[in-house]
Structure 1
Amino acid sequence: MILEMYWLYYLIFLWSILSFLVMKYVHISNCIKYYLAINYIPLAFILAYRAPSVGADTWAYIEAFNYLSVTPIDGFFVESFECGYVLLNKLVYVLGGNGVDVIKIVAILSVSLLAGFFYKYSKSVVLSTVIFIGFGMMFPMMNLIRQVLAAVIVLWAMGKLSENKRTWSVILIFLASTIHVTVFPFIVFVILHPLNVKKILLAVTLGIMLVCVIEANGLFFLLDFSLLNESKYISYIGSEFDVSKEYGALVICALFCFCLFASGCYKYIYKSSNEQLLAISTLAMYISAIVILLGYKVDILGRFIYPYFLYLCILLPAFCNLKHGIGKVCVYVIVVVAAFVYFTKSLGVLRDGYIYNLGI
């Protein structure tokens, strides 16, 4: 039944694996560039030309264009939209476009920036792609379009930070924050740079204190619904985020992130502090685990995991590349199988709104 409903997503996942194997078999030169082209161009097309019914927020963003394009910018926010996203809508309006064009532009930008980042910074472009698709990070591109674009821009900010280009990093973080303000906390990585054991322990201690505060007060006071647009966010409670908790899936995910954090601390921070992007990815795994667990207290936090969990696409391939020969092949196979299982489970809790249709 799942295969009948979501066959296109399975095809995307399987193609990300088979296309590489075929190219390696026929010994194509510039294999990685061709791999990126034949995987990410179709992905951009699929996202850009999806029907408004695909993704709960797609139609809402299309409708939002009608007033964002003509509403004056007042401060940092305009009707719950950050100024950068508002400016994008206004620019499209000036050029004669519409809300559908905004969806297309965001899709193409997000996919292009992601592919470029993997090409420049990943230890394995293929494995990063398989992880990105298999561990469910593709699906938010059809729904949380502003947050995904902001998260991908922040990826580049962290890449620049790992090259000690602080100014570029800060600029990109501020740019991303004008698309979705929830990525602004990444400025802390700039403050902590370069990461080392002491700074990581400080971040861990603060994380533990945060958990204790939330546990003691019941509901995190900064995320009290009295401070939010209740009509907008209350609908998220009882969504698939809650459904998945019934099976303990998020607990397993949090433990997985904790394990990667512990391993990354030893390998990339304690033993070789020059691997700054991997150190950043390590800390991002810890933050992912904390946010996942806090989601059991504050459900809305489930929507804020994405910018941190995305660094799994960088850290896990780096771990896999520590092996050589047959050991490396075995590790790759294990990761691919795990991604397939996770992918299938993810499809099992998706709503009907994710059944794909062409339309825009």
Structure 2
Amino acid sequence: MTAPALPSTTPTRHRPARRRRLTRVAVSVAGLFAAMTALAPSAGAAAGDWNPGKHDEDVLINCFTGNPGPGMSADVGWRSPSGQVPRVGEIFYVRGYIGLVGLACADAVPVLPELMLPAGVVPADEQAPILWDLTKSGSSQQLKTKELTFAKGLNGGYLIGSPEGLKWELSRGDVLEIQVPVIATRTLIGSGTQAPECQSRRDGTAPCPIAQSGDHFQMAFTVAGYGGSKKYVTPYVGLFAQAAGTGGGTGTGTGTGTGTGTGTGTGTGTGAAAASSATSMQLKASRRAVKAVVTIASSAAPTGTLTITDKGRTIATAAVSGRTVSLKLPRLKRGKHVLVATFSGGSGISGSASAPQKVRVR
């Protein structure tokens, strides 16, 4: 049986409602608060067709006939405002939806989705609204922006609960849909990376680890306790993002190109453009130390210098000889800090900078 059909919708963009942001849930650590701020906001609503992913469902024994059949049926997808592959730094939407298509013995079935984004993709709900709807059987879908509930998930993602708390309840024929705005901080190649086809996802015992899922987005729906065959129903879809800018020279002179973030790069040779790069930074903190893990995405092997600044002041530097650089930062004083990682570029690769990360040391 196919996934539950959803009404065709073209949602109107609303001003973001006041709510506990996903961006704030994502980065709360002991002694630090690092807000994953997004880059430039999109001018319009998520438009264009949804790019579908891989469907998932469980099996339920029909309460009246005793025959097995689909119970919970779920899907995911993504789309961008332009209908094209989004660029690094542009807002686009991912969605997950699930419906109870089987006849369960229970009057209502508890469901809890966990949003599992690949590395280099961050929530952007401070720039665009989260849209959602629980369409009751026989009614039309009307997407809302009412406050939801968020928490860290057991699988490294973000739990998304109803306005009443970390729970949703579905009756037969109901469909829950959640659309979340996100931003890519690096280039993404979706199906060109490892797919989340681990045995635990197929069996329904757990979603695949994010580190083993490449550039794929999973929505792990907890559906245990209603008589179905799985604990999790987890559809997934590959995400794509192209470099924020490209450039080139003409003739036999030197060409120039603009990289992702705030850096610019220069290409050399017979008019060849510099390969673009995208820089992203994650902070790992303890009470006494902060470690920065910086990823530089580029079609060529990056070499050059990495600089970490705090409100424009250099606090650490490191040589770049690969796509990942880890360095321990000097101890930060109490108060607010704004950290940015900047890759200098070099060897035909343009420079780039990460999104600023706001840090509060207590």
TM range (shorter): under 0.3
Per the normalisation by structure 2, the TM-score is 0.22
Per the normalisation by structure 1, the TM-score is 0.23
Instruction: Identify, as 1 or 2, the structure richer in helix.
Output: 1
Instruction: Identify, as 1 or 2, the structure richer in strand.
Output: 2
* Higher normalized contact order (CA 8 Å, seq sep 6+, divided by chain length): 1
